[in-house]
Structure 1
Amino acid sequence: MVSILVVNGPNLNMLGKREPEVYGRETLDDIVARLEKVMDELGGRMEHCQSNHEGVLIDAIHRAKGVHDGIVINPGAFTHYSYALRDALAAVSLPTIEVHISNVHAREAFRHHSVIAPIAVGQVIGLGTDGYEWALRALVRKISRV
């Protein structure tokens, strides 16, 4: 049974309320419920962690080693500068897919660079909240082939 850790960074707890013209009206609870159904369909399981605090996310990633088979992460603003988060992901050596709801490359220049991308097996960017599902399905497929 494949097990995936889904990690969401700062401000993602505000989905559905924060800039709905950019991020949509779906809440993080809505997304997590949908992903749990997808994992049931795929015969796997998932755990979800969201925090506005970098250390909490790092601790969750560290605990994933030996428990989960991969990670789907939307690092939020940590994408652009958190070498600590990047190093945590690298340290656990689990296949990781980075997700962004909006097309970060069509937004402010500071959003164009990800310190996570070089250690991720892939990115899903700009497909709205559906990107989580596509990332989850792709990661499970990738892990199942190994």
Structure 2
Amino acid sequence: MADAKTVFVLNGPNLNLLGLREPEIYGHDTLDDIADRLEDQAQELGLSIDMRQSNHEGHLIDWLHEANADGVKAVILNPGGYTHTSVALHDAIKSITVPVIEVHLSNPHARESFRHISYVGRAAKGTIAGFGALSYALALDAAARL
């Protein structure tokens, strides 16, 4: 059971392929590499993380609801491609009281025009993008200060 010192770190579709998929855009770090660094950082901040990944939109929605029910401190969410398509994730974020920080490895605004719209970002507390794996660390720092 999570608590007010836990930060959920939720990752959407294709993020299980980090380090392999388009490293020129997303970098060479795997999701496990990022998790290891976040665990160390969380410990320094007096927090714990619960890192999860799914290629299924419904899992992400269920985990947002779980975060709210468990009273976690914050959610860091990299929704992957659902950023630009998911009204359901937008609605799930709006339906909970836990602050959600949207994270992206790349800068969507510097990429294809269809990536310039974020339904998730419109519901999130804030967005951190374009800093590669460092985006997660910046988000965790922000979560600690909320």
8 Å CA contact 2:73–2:143 kept in 1: the answer is: no
Shift of 1:139: 1.3
What TM-score do you get using the length of structure 2 for normalisation?
A: 0.94
How well do the aligned residues superpose, as a CA RMSD in angstroms? 1.0
The corresponding residue for 2:5 is 2
The corresponding residue for 2:25 is 22
Shift of 1:69: 1.5
The corresponding residue for 2:42 is 39
Shift of 1:117: 1.2
Shift of 1:43: 0.7
Shift of 1:78: 0.2
* 1:106 alignment partner, one of 96, 110, 117: 110
Shift of 1:66: 3.5
The correspondence of residues 40-119 of structure 1 with structure 2, limited to 5 A, is 40-67=43-70, 68-119=72-123
Shift of 1:80: 0.5
The corresponding residue for 1:127 is 131
5+ residue gaps in structure 2? none
> What is the aligned-residue identity percentage?
50
Instruction: Give a deviation string over 1:107-129, Cα, whole Å, max 9, x none.
Output: 00000000011221111110111
Shift of 1:132: 0.3
* 2:144 alignment partner, one of 129, 140, 144: 140
Number of residues of Structure 1 aligned to a counterpart in Structure 2 = 142
Whole-angstrom distance in 1 between the partners of 2:22 and 2:91: 30
The AA in structure 1 aligned to 2:84 is H
Shift of 1:45: 1.1
Whole-angstrom distance in 1 between the partners of 2:88 and 2:126: 19
Whole-angstrom distance in 1 between the partners of 2:51 and 2:64: 11
Whole-angstrom distance in 2 between the partners of 1:120 and 1:55: 18
Higher helix share: 1
Instruction: Give a deviation string over 1:63-102, Cα, whole Å, max 9, x none.
Output: 1113212110000000001011111111122111111101
Report the secondary structure of 1:88's partner residue.
helix
